[in-house]
Amino acid sequence: MLLLGGIGRAGRLSASVHRRRATRMPANPEPAGPSATLPPRAKLAVTAGKVAAAVSRTAGRGSGSVIGGKVALRLDPDLLRSLAENLDVVLVSATNGKTTTTRLIAEALKAAGPVVSNALGANMPAGITSALADGSDARFGVIEVDEKYLVGVAKDTAPKAIALLNLSRDQLDRSSETRMLAERWREGLQGTEAVIIANADDPLVTWAASSCRKVVWVAAGQAYREDAWSCPSCGGVMQRPGEDWFCPSCGFRRPQPHWALQGDHVVDPQGSGWLIQLQLPGRANLSNATSSAAVAAVFGVHPQIALQRMQAVQAVAGRYESVQFGGREVRLLLAKNPAGWLETFTLIDQPPAPVVLSVNALSADGTDTSWLWDVDYERLVGHPVFVMGQRKLDLAVRLEVAGVHFQVVDSLAQAVAAAPPGRIEAIANYTAFQQLRRDVRG
Amino acid sequence: MSESALRLVWVYPDLLSTYGDRGNVLVVERRARQRGLDVARIDVRSDQPIPTSGDIYLLGGGEDRPQRLAGERLRADPGLGRAVENGAIVLGVCAGYQIMGHEFIDDMGQRTQGLGLLDVWSTRGEGARSVGDILAEPDPRLGLPTLTGFENHQGVTHLGQGVSPLARVSVGGGNGTGDGTEGAWRDTVFGTYLHGPILARNPSVADLLIKLALDVSALPPADNTWYDALRAERIAAVQQPAQ
Ligand SMILES: [Zn+2]
């Protein structure tokens, strides 16, 4: 049907499609969707964890050589190297959860000695250098690292341990492609002396870690799977029965985990379970705590002690913080990418809890809002939803298509005034979250 | 799924769904249902055969390596070609657009054969990657308003005699050939660099695909309040970049 001067042939719309073909398509053999719920975790087979013993502290830590006062933020690799020299360094990288996990690990390691950390999420070399300069008498340096800088920071700081939590799509208009990041990790970390603590449930993380010599595998779970259908090794289509995954084409498969998150317990390499009690909500934080316990064990901190210490962690840089605003309780939740939104939806109060969504598209957020369509906003059906932020109209179209009832507002105050009773869950992406934090402080 | 449902085929969500183009599937589905149509959505993973009897086929953008894999698997599967011969409607975005042409450059820098469903071929641009909001005036024969979207590609797509440009760029890069064209189309096959996703930013394009599939010239009206507000905002923002 060639289109010239008009669309199609004249005809009236009927509620059925005119069949042009007689054959009927076979039923879709298998849905490709991500959200099938998994059967309960089978009993974990654990291999003895021999890795922790391999790591010992370096002696000769000095405290006098650290440059006092303000460190110029101009990037100086030698400075970072000399600052790190006297520390047992732990690096933490991931698409999501690295700030919180850095905080959890820092708390756990305080059981073994003083800790310096870039707790506020300044995760590029200059910010890391500045944070380390403040910790002259620390034994441990627990450092969150931006995914793109991990390899370089690992070369400069000679870490004892590196925690790799997850990788998924994030700000594709300005970031590397996700698999490219995994490949950069894989190539750059190959010769490292560090113990790698890696999420065995994330195929891209597994791919990145599997060329390293000392790896502690953690079954920390993976909620968002849309970047993990293609085998990072050969491109085959990944099979994911239950919690397992493997590539039928090349045999790349999920390694046997040493540690596992099982319900709300950490199962250690001896097979003992330890209850996780956090003030932080959500499955993602149970996962972060599991990886943190595995890191702490590398330095001889028992999981029970580590988890007890993690319990003290409340809001991290304002994330998960409940505040009073306009006479109402508002909980501030940060979600920066599809995986982060998915995890956030699982922890918010049940409908009809009111939900505020705020999305910006400044360069720190990514200027492309297409990712909104990779988020299952359909999950908000039943909640009264208020949308705000610079890109509230993108959200409005997204929610309209998702069949979610929503109201477009100009400010948090307006949303709070219009919200029905209940704690208000306010979910925002990066700069929108910073704005919310300023809003609630008045 | 009734025999009379609109059959909407989403080609390779495991490979070609990285830049939010899943939204195109959601928008077509929503707008068809709003018009009282039954919709059978068929998600076809890249280890499954492409059905030949779909009404509308959507291909999204993907990263360079998945694009190569998608091209390889689609070339080995006659399904999409047969569907087009049967008159099916196809919209390919970015990587999905390039794959429909004669050839494209893969992740290893190699010229790779495409499906030849559109008379276009893609090369790798010499300059900076085209990233940002885009505005374009569509081919008048399509009866569409201004197109708004977001582009993010290194590729340059050259058009042969067998296709027409989908639109003329007023802001942005488009096909990147320097002649101001964006996208390509022929009969019922459309290719474009526009994400956003394109059908969320331009619901009239979604309606066009549905009309072609139904072989009708008009659809009952749908509530476009929020689409229109978004379009107006984006068009204004692009014409008056941030100070
Ligand atoms: Zn493989």
For chain B, the domains span 6-239
pLDDT score of A435: 96
Q: Domain map of chain A by residue range?
A: 10-310, 322-441
Nearest-by-CA chain B residue for A400 = B226
Tens digits of residue pLDDT in A13-33: 333 444 443 333 333 333 333
pLDDT at residue A65 is higher than 60: no
A80 is written with which tokens?
């970072």
Q: Which fold has domain B6-239?
A: Rossmann fold (3.40.50)
Mean pLDDT over B79-88 rounds to: 97
Which pair of tokens denotes residue A212?
């390293």
**pLDDT confidence of residue A83:** 87
- CATH fold for domain A10-310: UDP-N-acetylmuramoyl-L-alanine:D-glutamate ligase (3.40.1190)
Q: What is the pLDDT of residues B177-187, one digit of tens each?
A: 999 999 999 99
Would you say B91 and B192 are in contact if contact means Cβ atoms under 8 Å apart? yes
pLDDT score recorded for residue A27: 36
Q: For residue B51, what is the nearest residue in chain A, using CA coordinates? A: A25
In the predicted structure, residue A36 carries a pLDDT above the cut 70 = no
What would the pLDDT profile of B29-70 be if each residue is shown by its tens digit? 999 999 999 999 999 999 999 999 999 999 999 989 999 999
For residue B159, the cross-strand partners are B120
Overall average pLDDT of the B1-17 stretch: 87
Could you tell me the distance, in angstroms and rounded to a whole number, from the CA of residue A230 to the centre of ligand 1?
A: 8
pLDDT (average), residues A86-110 = 96
User: Could you give the CA distance from residue A442 to residue A436 in angstroms, rounded to a whole number?
Assistant: 10
Give this prediction's pTM. 0.87
Per-residue pLDDT of A150-181, as tens digits, reads: 999 999 999 999 999 999 998 766 666 888 99
pLDDT digits (tens, 9 = 90+) for A409-438: 999 999 999 999 999 999 999 999 999 999
Query: How close B27 comes to chain A (CA, Å)?
Result: 6
CA distance B32 to chain A (A): 10
State chain B's maximal CA–CA distance in angstroms.
Answer: 54
Q: pLDDT tier at A12 (50, 70, 90 boundaries)?
A: very low
Q: How many CB pairs under 8 A join A and B?
A: 188
The pLDDT value given to residue B243: 47
Mean pLDDT of chain B: 95
DSSP assignments along A235-262, one per residue: -PBPB--TT--B-TTT--BPPPPSEEEE
Q: Tell me if A84 sits within 8 A of A158, measured CB to CB.
A: yes
Question: What is the rounded average pLDDT of the residues A238-255?
Answer: 96
Query: CB distance B150–A402 less than 8 Å?
Result: no
Of the candidates A396, A375, A383, A331, the one whose C-alpha atom is nearest the C-alpha of residue A355 is A383
Higher-scoring residue by pLDDT: A53, A341: A341
Per the annotation, the verdict on B195 as an active-site residue is yes
Asked if omega into A352 is within 30° of 0 (cis), the reply is: yes
Those residues whose beta carbon sits under 5 angstroms from the ion ligand 1 are A 231, 233-234, 236, 247, 249-250, 252
Separation of CA A237 and ligand 1 centre (Å): 7
Tell me the pLDDT tens digit for each residue of A320-359.
Answer: 999 999 999 999 999 999 999 999 999 999 999 999 999 9
CATH of segment(s) A322-441: 3.90.190.20
Q: Classify residue A230 by its DSSP letter.
A: B
Least confident segment among A116-130, A139-153, B65-79: A116-130
For range B172-200, the mean pLDDT: 97
Q: pLDDT grade, residue A119 (50/70/90)? A: confident
Q: Could you tell me how many residues make up chain B? A: 243
Flag if A21 and B45 touch (Cβ within 8 Å).
no
* Residue A207 CA to ligand 1 centre (angstroms): 10
